Amino acid sequence: MGVTRNRGVNYEKFIEHFQGKTRKLETFERCSFVLAVFVFLGSVFCCFCEEVAMVSVPLGFEISGFDRSRIWVSQNGVFAFGFLENCSKEDEVDSFLVGIRYNLGDNEVVNVPVWTVGGGLRVSMNSTIRLSRDGRLILEDNPSGVIVWSSDTSSLGIRKASLLNNGNLVLVGIEDNVLWQSFNSPTSTLLPGQSLHFPQTLRAPSKKSISSYYSFVIRHSGELALVWENNVTYWSNHVNLLGSFKEAIFDGNGLLGLIDISNKTVWSISSKDFDEPSLTLRRLKMDSDGNLRIYSWNHVLHEWKVGWQAVENQCDVFGSCGLYSLCGLNSTGAVCDCLYQDSVNWGSGLSTVDSGSSGCKKMVDLGNCKMNTSMMVMRQTFLYGLYPPQDVDIMLSEKACKEYCSNDTNCIAATSKNDGSGICTIKRTSFITGYGNPSVSATSFLKVCLVPLAVSARGTNPDVTAKPISTSRGGDSKNFTAAIALIVSVTASGFVAIEMFVFWFMYRRRKLKAHIRIPFGKDAQMNAHYNSLIRLSFEEIKGDNI
């Protein structure tokens, strides 16, 4: 019995020992698996905090532009950090952004950036993003070693960096206290839980430079506004809370709210899918077309959907179509067309709104016109100048507005409002843009060089009338072709008529000469008393006498 009891005790100890080993082995295998996954993803160290789930990397961690597939992913897999493959075709091939993006699939369209180093700073492939030994997150251009951007945190005691599940990149100290975070330096996007404080801004991404013309700002008064070049406001929430507002915050339910110092929401807007439980991913984005939008992720359709935008009519965004262009609307939304007929893209209809690069020709220098200038009349169209803002308002009738601009050598274009105000806006800059549609109560005049062909077709009328942008992309081309056919037909008919007149005139002239050479016609034969002097040659007289 004793032996049995001893064997039982030994068996129980063996079982406990085996279970302990098994638990340690399973723990080791799990950790090894996790470690292997993150080594594959480009991390060199990983650990898990029980209270705040995150993936951390130690000092010395780096990612090279030569290995852009090596990314650093948040624990929930939703966000990724590294070199971003979203450069436009217009950019150089060796040009990349570095930052945080969504990690929702293989499609670049859905993996949109939410934060970029340096606000959209572009670097070459031969660059490295590194958490340096002194605690700075730095972007370095190799092999020169030039630091093109730094978090400037060398004296804060940084021990590691963490990419949180909410998309916030944080630099953490010894006691896991956050000493620097990307949420405090937003670029073009606010994620749920992220705030905007004065004087922070959201800057629209640009395809050709570090910053674009458009930004979303929070002013000292608490007013939220969309501005162009810091001097033109084309949308705002018209709120004045001077000295009593705290922040603007975007939450996960799809609401953008303005909070006062007592944490009370004093103004808010929400997405049309507000508080819908099936939608877990949202973002507030300042887009490159100058509009502010709330996007929601549809996991069924696997795409981003717009739930709200600040400016409903895209043509109301200042400079929406860029220089020398007009913005119009059709069934698909906003479309751009060139300002005047001599442009390379006239009638083609730009398919997308591309601010700053419409593809239209620069306006002709009016001082080099071979003939005089004329005024192009553009009904239901509003024009305005971009650079510099030299628009001048005066009180004139529509006819007087056109004449004033025509006689002013410095005037490039003018717009007369038909809303009863009598305002005539004179533009003294060649950097012109505008918008047109049937609801616009204004007529604009654009000074252009007088075209000889147009003069002959119009007679003495020096004015050209231009139609507003058509909602049908083929309409302008058909009308232009019909006009050319009509001109050719009228010209050909004129030539035929002139030829017939010349033929008739020469025929009559020959006939008249024949009558002069032969004086004995019908009258001489029928009238015996017809008398006339006759000139006879010497041969004729000599013949009669023989």
Going by pLDDT thresholds of 50, 70 and 90, the confidence category of residue 368 is: confident
pLDDT at 42 over 90: no
- Alpha carbon separation from 306 to 234, 283, 297, 312 (Å, rounded): 20, 10, 9, 12
pLDDT at 203 over 90: yes
pLDDT at 146 over 80: yes
Please name the fold of domain 186-312: Agglutinin, subunit A (2.90.10)
pLDDT of residue 366: 78
Domain edges within the chain? 1-41, 51-185, 186-312, 316-473, 488-546
Residues 229 and 213 sit within 8 Å (Cβ to Cβ): yes
pLDDT at 367 over 60: yes
Q: Which residues make Cβ contacts (< 8 Å) with residue 136, sequence separation at least 6? A: 150, 151, 152, 153, 154, 158
pLDDT of residue 430: 85
pLDDT at 272 over 60: yes
Q: Identify the helix (H) or strand (E) that includes residue 101.
A: strand 97-102
Residues 135 and 156 sit within 8 Å (Cβ to Cβ): yes
SS3 307: strand
Distance of alpha carbon 454 from alpha carbon 462, whole angstroms: 9
Torsion of CA 313, 222, 209, 153, to 10 degrees: -150
- 74, 147, 93: which is closest to 117 by C-alpha? 147
Residues 103 and 79 sit within 8 Å (Cβ to Cβ): yes
Residues for the chain: how many in total?
A: 546
pLDDT in tens, 234-252: 999 999 888 788 999 999 9
Distance of alpha carbon 512 from alpha carbon 520, whole angstroms: 14
pLDDT in tens, 393-427: 999 999 999 999 999 988 999 999 998 899 999 99
- Strand order of the sheet with strand 169-172? 54-58, 160-164, 169-172, 178-181
Pairing state between β 303-309 and 232-236: unpaired
Is pTM beyond 0.75? Reply is: no
pLDDT at 529 over 50: no
pLDDT at 91 over 80: no
The CATH architecture of the domain made up of 316-473 is 3-Layer(bba) Sandwich (3.50)
Q: Write the DSSP string, 346-388.
A: TTT-BSS--TT---PPPPP-GGG-SS-EEEEEEETEEEEE-SS
Which of 2.60.15.10, 2.90.10.10, 2.60.40.1760, 2.60.120.650 is the CATH number of 51-185?
A: 2.90.10.10
Longest dimension (CA), the chain: 189
Question: What is the separation, in whole angstroms, between the first and last Cα of the chain?
Answer: 189
Fold match, 186-312 / 316-473: no
Record the tokens describing residue 484, joined without a space.
């050319």
Residues 75 and 106 sit within 8 Å (Cβ to Cβ): no
Record the tokens describing residue 520, joined without a space.
């004995």
pLDDT in tens, 153-171: 999 999 999 999 999 999 9
Going by pLDDT thresholds of 50, 70 and 90, the confidence category of residue 513 is: low
pLDDT of residue 92: 52
DSSP label at residue 53 = -
Distance of alpha carbon 210 from alpha carbon 136, whole angstroms: 22
Distance of alpha carbon 239 from alpha carbon 448, whole angstroms: 43
